[in-house]
Structure 1
Amino acid sequence: MGGAFLAAAVLARLGARIGLPTIPLFILAGILLGPNTPGFVLVDDPHELEMLSALGLVLLLFYLGLEFHLDDLKTGGRKMAIAGGSYLALNVGAGLAFGFALGWGTSEALVLAGVLGISSSAIVTKVLVDLGRIGNPETKPILGIIVVEDIFLALYLAALQPVISGADSMGAAALDAGKAFGFLLLLAALARWGIGVIGKLVATRDNELLVISFLGIAVFVAGVSEWFGVADAIGAFMVGLMLGSTSSGDRIRELVHPLRDAFGAIFFFAFGLSIDPGDLPTVLVPVLIAVVVTLAMNVLAGLVAARLYGFGPGPAANIASALLARGEFALILATMAAGAGLDDRLAPFIAGYVLILAVLGPLAAGNSHWLARVLPDRGGPAAQPQEHPQAQPQKGTPPRD
C-alpha cells in the first residue's frame, strides 16, 4: 500500500511539471507496477487493494454530495432530470446500437449499452476538483446528470443481471429493481426531511469526533446501499448531500479533503492494476470506433444541457468534456460479463475503451476551450469556459488568500 501511494505521488509530481492531470498518471502507475506488465510487480493481486479502492470511490462521491446543495436539487430538479435523461438517451442508445452493430450477441449489446452510456463519477468528481470548477454554473447540470446516471445505474444493474445470466424469472428482476428504488426513496426522504436530526447526530466541536462520525455514516450507508442493489457511490453521495446541508457542513468539507485525495489516488491506482495492455490490440478498431461515438454523443448531450440552462459554447464544452471519462462502472460490467460466460472479447474491449477515455477525459476537460471555439454560440450567458474562478478577482477587489 505504501508503494502504491509513493508510485502515484512520484508520477503525479512528474506529470505536474509538464501540465498533465493526475488521474491518468495514477492509472499508469497501476498498469506499470501491476501483474499484467513486464518488470517489477508491486501488487500481484489487484484484489489486495479492493477495500481501499472502494473507500476511495465512496469518499470521492461523498465529497461530490457535500458540494451539491439541496436547494439546487429543489429548484432545478426538472431541468436536471431532462438533462440527465437526454444524456442517457443519447449515450445508452448509441451504446446499444453499437453493440448490435458489432454482432457479438444480444446480451453483449446490453452490456455495451451500459459501458458506453455511463460516465465515471469518480473521474468526473476529480476533474471538477482539479480544474477548480466546483463553483461554476455549468457544474450544477454536470452533477445533476451524474445523479440521474446513478439512479439509472441501480435499476439497470437489477434488470441486467437476470438477462446476461440467462435467468427466466422477470419477477425476481422486478423485485430487485423495486427494492433498489425503495431504498433510493428512503434516502431522498431523509435528505428532504431528516436534515435537522442528522445535523444534531454529527454536531460536535471536536474535529476528531466529527471525522469519525461522517466517515462512519458515509461508509455504512454506502455498504447498506450496495446490499439493497443501489451503487455504493450513490449511497455515499446522498450522505454527502445530507451532511453538507447541516451546520457542520463547512467543517466536513474541509476535513474530508486529505482523505478524499489519498484514497482517491488508490482508487485510480487499483483501476490501473486491472488493465492488461497485452489484450488491447485484438479489439483496437472497435475500441477506437466506440471512443469516436462517445465523443460525438457527449458533444450533443453537452449542447442539449447548455440549451436547457441557457449557457453558451464555453459551458457546453465543459459539460461535454467533463462527462467524457468512463471508469469504475464499466469495469463492474466487465466482471459481470466474464462471470456470465459472455464473449471473451468484451473484457479487453472494455479495458481499452476505459483506459483511453480515462486518459482523454481529463485532458479534454482541461482544454475544453478548443472545443468551445467550434460549438455554435446561441448567445447564452457564460459563453466562455470558467476555470479557477477564485483566482480571478474583480477589478478593485484584493485577491483572497
Structure 2
Amino acid sequence: MGGAFVAAAVLARLGSRIGLPTIPLFILAGMLLGPHTPGYVLVDDPHQLEMLSALGLVLLLFYLGLEFHVEDLKTGGRKMALAGGAYLALNVTAGFGFGLALGWGLSEALVLAGVLGISSSAIVTKVLVDLGRIGNPESRPILGIIVVEDIFLALYLAALQPVISGADSMASAAGQAAKAFGFLLVLAVAARWGTRLIGRLIATKDDELLVISFLGAVVLVAGIAEEFGVADAIGAFMVGLMLGNTTSGGRIRELVHPLRDAFGAIFFFAFGLSIDPGDLPLVVWPVLIAAAVTIAMNVLAALFAARIYGFGRGPAANVATTLLARGEFALILATMSANAGLDRRLGPFIAGYVLVLAVLAPLAAGRSHWLARVLPDVGRRRKAVAAAG
C-alpha cells in the first residue's frame, strides 16, 4: 500500500509540472506497476487493495454530496435546468447510441450512456481553479450543469443497478428498482426534513470525534445501500447531501478532504491495476470515436448554453472544453460493470476513454480561444434579435 501511495504521488508530481490532472496519472501508475505490465510488479493481485479502493469510491461520492446544495437549484432557476438538461440529453443519448452501435449488449450500452454522459466534477473544478476562471460569468452555468449531473447520477445509478446485476425477469428488475428507489426516498426525506436532528446528533467540537462520526455514518449507510440494491457510492452521496447542510457541514468538508484525496488515489490506482494494457489496442478505435462524439456533443451543448445565457464565442468555448473531462463517475461504472460480469472490453475501453479526455480537457480548456474562432456567435445573435424586438 505504501508503494502504491508513493508511486501515485511521484507520477502525479511529474505530471503536474506539465499541467496534467492527477486522475489519469494515478490510473497510469496502477497500470505500469500492476501484474499485466512487464517489469517490476508492485501489486500482483488487485483484490489486495479492494477494501481500500471501495473506501476511496465511497469518500469521492460522499464529498460530491457535501458540495451539493439544494439552494443551488433554486438560485440557478430555469436557465440552469435547461442548460444541464440539454447537456445530459445530448451526451447520454449519444453514449447510449454509441453503445448500441458497438454491439456489446443493451446493459453495456446503458453503462456507456453514463460513461459518455457525465463530466468529472473533480477535474472540472480543478480546471476552473487552475485557469483562474472560477469567477468568470460562464463558470456559473458550468457549475450548474455539474449540479444537474449530480442529481441525474443518483437516479441513474439507482435505476442501473438492478439492470446490470442480471435480474431474472422484468418483474424482478422492477421489484429491485422499487426497493432501491424506496431506500433513496427514505434518505431523501431525511435529507430534506431531518437535517436539524442529524446535525444535532453529529455535532461536536472535537475534530477527532467528528471524523469518526461522519466516517462511520457514510460507510454504514453505503453498506446498507448495497443490501437494498443501491450502489454503495450513491448511499455515500446521499449521506454527504444530508451532512453538508448541517451546521457541521463546513468542518466536515475540510476534514474529509485529505481522506478523499488519499483513498481516492488508491481507488484510481487499483482501477489501473485491473487494466491489461494488452487489451487497449482492441478498443483504440472505439475510444477515439467516443472521444470525438463527446467533443461534438459538448460543443453543441455549449452553444445551447451560450444561447440561453447570451454568451459570446469565448465563454461558449470555455464551457465546451471545461466540461469535456470524464473521470471518477466513469470509473465507478467500470467497477460496477466488472462486478456484474458485463463485457470484459468495457474496462479497457473506459480506462482509455478516461485517460484520453482527462488529459485532453485541461489542455483544450487552456487553449479554448482556438475553438472560439470557429464557433458561431449564437449568444450575441440572440441579444440582437431581442434588442430588435
Mark yes or no: TM-score above 0.5. yes
Query: Partners in 1 of 2:366 and 2:152 — Cα distance?
Result: 23
1:179-210 Cα deviation digits (max 9, x unpaired) = 22222222222221111111111111111111
Give me the whole-angstrom Cα distance separating, in 2, the residues matched to 1:242 and 1:310: 35
Partner of 1:174: 174
The answer to whether the 8 A contact 2:36-2:277 is kept is yes
Deviations 1:227-269 (A, max 9, x none): 3233333322222222222222222222222212211221221
The equivalent residue for 1:140 is 143
Matches within 5 A, 1:114-153: 114-120=114-120, 136-153=139-156
1:35-54 paired onto structure 2 within 5 Å: 35-54=35-54
Q: Do the aligned partners of 2:307 and 2:379 also contact (CA within 8 Å) in 1?
A: no
CA distance in 2, matches of 1:66, 1:190: 15
Instruction: Provide structure 1 residue ranges, at least 5 long, that are not aligned to the other structure.
Output: 381-401
SS at match of 1:137: helix
In 2, Cα distance between equivalents of 1:83 and 1:177:
28
Identity of aligned residues (%): 73
Structure 1 or 2: more helix by fraction: 2
Partner of 1:280: 280
Distance 1:189 1:254, change over 3 A: same
1:328 matched residue in structure 2: 331
- Paired with 1:34 and 1:64, the residues of 2 have a C-alpha distance of 29
Q: Could you tell me which amino acid in structure 1 is paired with residue 150 of structure 2?
A: V
What corresponds to 1:154 in structure 2?
157
The answer to whether the 8 Å contact 1:111/1:333 transfers is no
Equivalent residue pairs, number: 374
Higher deviation after alignment, 316-325 or 186-195 = 316-325
Distance 1:325 1:108, change over 3 A: closer
Distance 2:118 2:59 in 1: 19
Q: How far did 1:214 drift? A: 1.6
Further displaced range: 113-122 or 128-137? 128-137
Structure 1 residue 330 displacement after superposition: 3.6
Equivalent pair of 2:91/2:116 in contact (CA under 8 Å): yes
The aligned runs of 1:64-79 (5 Å cut-off) are 64-76=64-76
CA contact (8 A) 1:67 1:134 kept: no
Give the counterpart letter for 1:148 in structure 2: I
Quote the Cα distance in structure 2 between the aligned partners of 1:366 and 1:8: 25
Q: One-letter code of the match for 1:267?
A: F
Identify if the C-alpha distance between structure 1 residues 101 and 59 changes in structure 2 by more than 3 Å, giving closer, same or farther.
Answer: closer
Distance 2:159 2:266 in 1: 27
Where structure 2 has 5 or more consecutive residues not aligned to the other structure, the ranges are 381-389
CA distance in 1, matches of 2:365, 2:185: 33
CA distance in 2, matches of 1:83, 1:172: 35
Q: Is 1:26–1:265's contact at 8 Å kept on the other side of the alignment?
A: yes
* 2:31–2:275 CA contact under 8 A, matched in 1: yes
SS for the counterpart of 2:140 is coil
The 3 A distance-change label for structure 1 pair 82 and 57 is farther
Aligned partners of 1:233 and 1:131: how far apart in 2?
30
2:384 is aligned to none
Output the CA distance in 2 between the equivalents of 1:133 and 1:53: 32
Q: For residue 218 of structure 1, what is the amino acid of its counterpart?
A: V
What secondary structure sits across from 1:257 in the alignment? helix
Counterpart position of 1:387: none
What is the correspondence of 1:188-337 to structure 2 with a 5 Å cutoff? 188-308=188-308, 313=313, 316-320=316-320, 321-326=322-327, 327-332=330-335, 334-335=337-338
Give the direction of change, closer, same or farther, for the CA distance of 1:75–1:19 in structure 2 (3 Å limit). Answer: closer
- Do the aligned partners of 1:58 and 1:232 also contact (CA within 8 Å) in 2? yes
Q: 1:103 deviation in Å? A: 3.9
Q: Which amino acid aligns with 1:149?
A: F
CA RMSD for the aligned pairs?
Answer: 3.0
Deviates more, 1:20-29 or 1:314-323: 314-323
Contact 2:68 2:241 in 1 (8 A): yes
Distance in 2 separating the partners of 1:222 and 1:215 = 11
What whole-Å deviation, never above 9, does each CA across 1:65-84 have from its counterpart, x for those lacking one? Answer: 22222321344476555444
Is the CA contact (8 Å cut-off) linking 1:91 and 1:116 kept in structure 2?
Answer: yes
Give, as a single letter, the amino acid of the residue that structure 1 aligns with 2:60: L
Q: Report the residue type matching 1:161 in the other structure.
A: I
Tell me by how many angstroms 1:363 deviates: 4.0
Equivalents in 2 of 1:237, 1:108: separation in Å? 24
Give me the whole-angstrom Cα distance separating, in 2, the residues matched to 1:251 and 1:72.
20
CA distance 1:139–1:115, shift in 2 (3 Å)? closer
Is 38-47 or 126-135 further displaced after alignment?
126-135
| C-alpha separation in 2, matches of 1:220 and 1:253 | 19
**How far, CA to CA, are the matches of 1:183 and 1:134 in structure 2?**
36
The answer (yes or no) to whether the contact 2:96–2:113 under 8 Å persists in 1 is yes
Distance 1:217 1:306 in 2: 41
Amino acid in structure 2 at the alignment position of 1:153: Y
Q: 1:45 and 1:13 mapped to 2: Cα distance?
A: 26
Task: Give 3-state SS (helix, strand or coil) of 1:55's partner.
Answer: helix
How far apart, CA to CA, are the structure 1 residues paired with 2:202 and 2:130?
Answer: 28
The answer to whether the Cα contact below 8 Å between 1:65 and 1:241 also exists between their aligned partners in 2 is yes
